[in-house]
Amino acid sequence: MTREVLPCSFVADSSPHLDAIADAYDTVAVRYAELTRGALDALPLDRAVLAAFAELVRTAGGGLVADMGCGPGRLTAHLRDLGLEAFGVDLSPVMIDLARAAYPDLRFEVGSMHAPGLADGRLRGIVSWYSLIHLPPPEVSSYLAGFRRVLAPGGHLLLAFFESGGGPVAAFDHKVTTAHRWPIDDLAGLAGEAGFVEVGRMLREPCEGERFRRGRLLMRTGGHPG
Ligand SMILES: C[S@@+](CC[C@H](N)C(=O)[O-])C[C@H]1O[C@@H](n2cnc3c(N)ncnc32)[C@H](O)[C@@H]1O
């Protein structure tokens, strides 16, 4: 697949909170990459959601897809294997070094998924796979609005997160740095306020070694049927 030079530069937001996330993931990046490499092979429901997302993006004409908070790039590569023109962005420079080493044919950038350097409507798809979870809950709306801004009409958004099991949004002791479990309706509501229309959702029970139920939300911007 031809690699497009991205018409943007990603600049890491410099806030103490984001610096702390980057530092925490820099520290565990090598171990995280080892633990998660190939993990999707044992998760058919997750692969099904990713395949549905990819088909929707391809059917809508394809185009650039950002893996926001890509970590070591395993999802970016999976999206590429599903026929998408995917690239990855992450706050953690060590994660991005690992991603570039593992997938030299793909584009990865150190930066914030707030995507300050991307033109409005530039993307056809965004995947945020467990990357919104570390944000303080009041900040999530502005990130969703940023995703909406850089997605073209008819673009798709896929969110993966820990679901709260019926309770309100709540912090928990994530192994890397504080994260939050979200009620799926709350995240869907915030995405709706940011200008997204829900295409579908999935809850799956924890697999062996997992603590919490998982939520996946597939959304699209207005403009085309999903
Ligand atoms: C739980 S890991 C998930 C990594 C990858 N999506 C995966 O599933 O393998 C969360 C990642 O999101 C990144 N991240 C968190 N907040 C971010 C932000 N505001 N901008 C860019 N990356 C962020 C972290 O650095 C970390 O690599």
Predicted confidence at residue 4, as pLDDT, reads: 44
Q: For the whole model, what pTM was predicted?
A: 0.93
pLDDT band at 166 (very low <50, low <70, confident <90, very high): confident
- What distances in angstroms separate CA 176 from CA 44, 68, 151, one per listed residue? 25, 18, 30
Q: Is ligand 1 within 6 A of the CB of residue 71?
A: yes
Q: Residue 7: pLDDT above 50?
A: no
Q: Residue 12: pLDDT above 80?
A: no
Paired sense of beta strands 214-221 and 151-162, if any: antiparallel
Q: Is ligand 1 within 6 A of the CB of residue 129?
A: yes
Task: To the nearest 10°, report the CA torsion of 103, 107, 112, 116.
Answer: -170
Predicted confidence at residue 115, as pLDDT, reads: 67
Q: Is ligand 1 within 6 A of the CB of residue 76?
A: no
Predicted confidence at residue 154, as pLDDT, reads: 95
Paired sense of beta strands 196-204 and 85-90, if any: unpaired
Q: Is ligand 1 within 6 A of the CB of residue 74?
A: yes
CA of 69 to the centre of ligand 1 (A): 3
Encode pLDDT of 83-114 as tens digits: 999 999 999 999 999 999 999 999 999 999 98
Mean pLDDT across 164-174? 89
Q: Is ligand 1 within 6 A of the CB of residue 29?
A: no
Predicted confidence at residue 116, as pLDDT, reads: 67
Encode pLDDT of 130-140 as tens digits: 999 999 999 99
Residue ID of nearest Cα to ligand 1 atom 24: 69
CA of 95 to the centre of ligand 1 (A): 9
Q: Residue 1: pLDDT above 90?
A: no
| Helix 44-59 / helix 74-81 crossing angle, nearest 10 deg | 60
Question: Mean pLDDT in the chain?
Answer: 91
Predicted confidence at residue 10, as pLDDT, reads: 56
CA distance 51 to 150: 22
Encode pLDDT of 182-223 as tens digits: 999 999 999 999 999 999 999 999 998 888 999 999 999 975
Which secondary structure element, helix H or strand E, spans residue 21, and what is its range? helix 16-36
Predicted confidence at residue 114, as pLDDT, reads: 85
Give the amino acid at 128: S
Q: Is ligand 1 within 6 A of the CB of residue 113?
A: yes
Which secondary structure element, helix H or strand E, spans residue 220, and what is its range? strand 214-221
Residue ID of nearest Cα to ligand 1 atom 8: 129
CA of 36 to the centre of ligand 1 (A): 13
